[in-house]
Amino acid sequence: MTTTHASDPPASTTAYTILAAISVCHLLNDMMQSLLPAIYPILKSNYGLDFGQIGVLTFTFQFTASLLQPAIGLYIDKHPKPYSLAIGMGSTLTGLLLLAFAHDYSMLLLAAALIGTGSSVFHPESSRVARMAAGKRHGLAQSVFQVGGNLGSAIGPLLAAFIVLQRGQTSVAWFSLAALLGIVLLINVGHWYSAHGLARIKPRGTKTGAHLDLPRARVAMAIAVLILLIFSKFFYMASMTSYYTFYLIDRFGVSVQSAQLHLFVFLGSVAIGTIAGGPIGDRIGRKAVIWTSILGVLPFTLLLPHANLFWTGVLSVPIGIILASAFPAIVVYAQELMPTRVGAVAGLFFGFAFGLGGIGAAVLGELADATSITFVYQLCAFLPAIGLLAGLLPHLKSEDHQPPMSAVAVDMAGNIDPPPR
């Protein structure tokens, strides 16, 4: 049973320090989990692995990192564990050390499973904490949380290239320092979670919440539509993150360095879109952002396969910004549909997104081998048309009264700070 103290800040205030800590930890988590695939060439050489064994390693990591998330999210909804985030980061720390000093293939599989398990604990529970800390600015909270992951995923391969590939497999152990930093931050988040966060989540049985105005079948249909929209978004994103450089080299004959620069511009646009999507949803409504960000990107994706090099670079910017703005809005909208299943919803959507990224890369790679990389982009250009399904999403009462854009900051101890002048 949750108790409320007189010194607790109002649930409508925004705990910015908690959001910052969660975002930094998301950066660290996604940076560390991106190390594993980045060092596959080293592992293949050091252990004499074939591609089948690499595939099993990937499957082990993705199974634990994505498919476990909904189950973990559902469990923490029923049994909140304020310090589970620090424990999950400890699993990642153990996995990194095993990865650095593994003696055989079985230890590599165990390391992959531990790193994936740490990620599967982190995403649903930290998204839940972001909602606790959000006050009335749920979209902003999800954007701040998610942009940390975007940055971490981008930084990880670079660090692998400049550190691990240069110094060898044992240098992975140095990244355990990042895990230790994450544990320290998450222990402090756990203190706040235990003292103040639980009071900010409505208990089961509460008679408020947008979902209670809708039949179960309507809620289930809305979740199904959101999953299809996630499919559209992440399959297209897989085409860009995995094959954009190959497309530029094949079609325009640019250098690898130039192609990487174009990819960096696209990934920067994704980061901008992620941080913008949540606050815009707070102001104009989640459904409007979802509709615009999925379907609205269609004209740009249709033009991209027919543009010259200059316009390809230009078009990649609105594609990245508009498409990335969808995910924070989708997660918050789904949580508003099911406010007593915040962790389960986060686990479902983060797990599904992570899994689709891997599946999309594999499917599109096979398609490119069978046809051409240009054909892949011509086909993927139509994926955002799935955004038409956003018209089936129900209108939620929470969309009628958007919160004010000013908020009161709350520090790590839960004390209220006046807003900046």
- List pLDDT tens digits, range 218-267: 998 999 999 999 888 888 988 887 788 889 988 999 887 788 788 888 88
pLDDT of amino acid 317: 95
DSSP assignments along 343-403, one per residue: HHHHHHHHHHHHHHHHHHHHHHHHHHHHS-HHHHHHHHTTGGGGGGGGGGSPPPGGGTSPP
Q: In this predicted model, which residue has the larger pLDDT, 344 or 47?
A: 47
When pLDDT is cut at 50, 70 and 90, the band that residue 387 belongs to is confident
The pLDDT of 312-335, averaged and rounded, is 90
Residue 205 has pLDDT above 50, yes or no: no
pLDDT of amino acid 198: 63
CA distance 188 to 368: 47
Residue carrying the six token digits 């962790």: 343
Pick the CATH number of 16-201 from 1.10.357.10, 3.40.50.720, 1.20.1250.20, 3.30.750.24: 1.20.1250.20
pLDDT tens by residue, 103-140: 999 999 999 999 999 988 998 888 888 888 888 888 88
- State the pTM of this model: 0.70
Is beta strand 409-410 parallel, antiparallel or unpaired with respect to 416-417? antiparallel
The pLDDT of 76-89, averaged and rounded, is 88
Residue 37 has pLDDT above 60, yes or no: yes
Which range has the worst mean pLDDT, 1-15, 53-67, 314-328, 360-374? 1-15
Do domains 16-201 and 210-397 share one topology? The answer is yes
Query: Domain coordinates of the chain in residue numbers?
Result: 16-201, 210-397
The pLDDT of 324-341, averaged and rounded, is 85
The yes/no answer on whether domain 210-397 falls in CATH 1.20.1250.20 is: yes
Residue 390 has pLDDT above 60, yes or no: yes
Residue 410 has pLDDT above 50, yes or no: no
The pLDDT of 135-159, averaged and rounded, is 83
> Do 181 and 58 form a contact (C-beta atoms < 8 A)?
no
